[in-house]
Copies of this chain bind each other. A is one copy, B any other.
Amino acid sequence: MQATEAYTIEKVEEGTIVTPVGFTAGGLHSGLRRVKKDFGLLMSDQPASVAAVYTQSHFQAPPLKVTQESIAASSKLQAVAINSAIANACTGEQGLANAYEMRELIADRFSIPKSYVAVTSTGVIGEQLPMDKITYGAQKVQPNKNGAKDFQQAILTTDTKEKKSCYQLNIDGKTVTIAGAAKGSGMIHPNMATMLGFITTDATVESEYLQTALSQSIEKSFNQITVDGETSTNDMVLALANGGITHEPLTPQHPDWPAFQQTLQIVCEDLAKQIARDGEGATKLIEVNVTGAASNQEARIIAKNVVGSNLVKTAVYGMDANWGRIVGAVGYSEAKVNADMCSISIEDQLVFSQGTPCPFSEEQAKEDMSKEKVTITIGLHEGDGVGTAWGCDLTYDYVKINASYRT
Contacts and interface: CB of A to CB of B under 8 A. Distances in A.
Given A125-B324, A324-B124, A331 B404 contact: no
A30 B193 CA distance: 49
Contacts of A60: 339
Contacts of A338: 58
A337 B330 CA distance: 30
A320 to B, nearest CB: 6
- What's the interface size class on A, roughly? 35 or more
Contacts of A339: 58-60, 90
A231 B306 CA distance: 12
A355 B60 CA distance: 11
A261 interface: no
Contact of A328 (B187, B357, B396): B187
Interface in A312-334: 314-315, 317-318, 320, 322-325, 327-333
Contacts of A357: 90, 126
Given A91-B356, A92-B355, A337-B58, A320 B230 contact: no
Contact of A402 (B126, B318, B342): B318
A186 B325 CA distance: 12
Nearest to A319: B403
A33 to B, nearest CB: 17
A394 B404 contact: no
Contacts of A232: 328
Indicate the member of A58, A314, A398 with the most B CB atoms within 10 Å: A58
A78 B396 CA distance: 46
Main secondary structure of the interface of A (DSSP, over half): loop
A346 to B, nearest CB: 13
B231 A229 contact: no
Given A315-B405, A396-B396, A399-B399, A90 B356 contact: yes
A320 B56 contact: no
A309 interface: yes
Copies in the complex: 2
A139 interface: no
A228 interface: yes
A59 to B, nearest CB: 4
Interface of A: 56-60, 89-92, 95, 124-126, 186-187, 189, 191, 193, 228-233, 309-311, 314-315, 317-318, 320, 322-325, 327-333, 337-339, 342, 352, 354-357, 394-396, 398-400, 402-407
The 5 lowest CB-CB distance pairs between A and B, nearest first, are A318-B403, A231-B332, A57-B331, A314-B402, A59-B331
19 contacts: A57-B328, A59-B328, A59-B331, A59-B342, A60-B339, A90-B356, A126-B352, A126-B356, A126-B357, A186-B311, A193-B332, A228-B311, A314-B398, A314-B399, A315-B405, A317-B399, A320-B405, A320-B407, A394-B402
Given A59-B337, A310-B310, 11 more contacts: A57-B332, A58-B330, A59-B342, A89-B324, A91-B356, A126-B357, A187-B328, A228-B311, A229-B229, A233-B328, A320-B403
